[in-house]
Amino acid sequence: DGSFDYSKCNGMETVSSYAGSRPNSSFVNVNEEDAVPTDVGIEPGSATILNKRFHQNALPAPTEEWFTININGPGAPDRSVGEFVWLGTIRHAVLPPWLMEFMSYGILSPQKADSTVGLNPGFCPAFVDPSTAAFNRRLSKMQKTLITVVQDNPGSATPIVIPYGSLIAFIATEENPKIFLTDTRTSRVDVVF
């Protein structure tokens, strides 16, 4: 199914403390001040693959209008909650693909592609309730990391800037898409609903 088995990381057998299920929230402290501070990152190998898939034929962005970036690893949002997507235009965040398919008989529905990356380092604690501000802060960190990776231009000091009007958004399954904007005064990336 394309997922990575983290139980065999670094040649050692490991078992998640949650054994693959959501923890009982009464036992989990989701106070982010108590969490282990770390910068989130993308595994070097999967960052290289994402960069090559994203910039096929040396283009600044994929030829498809909808490019899903599946993220695996500690603290990554579960696919049942949503997924990160590069969108060629914000129209795709406002009008879902199924609606575009239906209204235009498939003419205006976006072509899609995808790639999978792993977090390294990830987040601790690995689980945060998706309805909290802490979850949104994690999404902001992941989005900023993804922007850095897709704009990386190996072997050059000049980044490959994604086209104007395109964006990396988090398409939630139960809510409206989450769009990210940078505060020009603080350079902090925040989630905008």
pLDDT per position as a tens digit, 137-178: 889 889 989 988 888 877 777 888 888 888 899 988 887 778
User: Which residue, among 124, 144, 135, has the nearest Cα to 189 in the 3D structure?
Assistant: 144
> Is-contact 138 145, C-beta < 8 A?
no
Could you tell me what percent of the chain has a pLDDT over 90? 9
139 and 147 Cβ atoms separated by less than 8 Å: no
Q: How far is CA 29 from CA 9, 35, 124, 129, 142, in A?
A: 26, 9, 11, 11, 21
Band of pLDDT at residue 127, cut at 50, 70 and 90: confident
Closest CA relative to residue 169, chosen from 107, 90, 114? 90
Residue 84: pLDDT band (50, 70, 90) is very high
Mean pLDDT, range 53-58, rounded to an integer:
82
Minimum mean pLDDT range among 39-43, 92-96, 118-122, 149-153? 92-96
CB 41 within 8 A of CB 119: yes
What value does the mean pLDDT take over residues 62-72?
91
Instruction: Pick the closest to residue 92 from 131, 57, 65 (CA basis).
Output: 65
CA-closest candidate to residue 73, choices 23, 138, 129, 134: 138
pLDDT of residue 110: 84
Q: Distance between CA atoms of 63 and 57, rounded to whole angstroms?
A: 10
Q: What is the pLDDT of residue 98?
A: 80
Q: What single string gives the DSSP state of each residue in 60-77? A: SS-SSSEEEEEEESTTPP
Dihedral, CA of residue 67, residue 69, residue 70 and residue 71, to nearest 10: -170
Peptide bond into 121 cis (omega under 30): yes
Q: Identify the pLDDT of residue 132.
A: 86
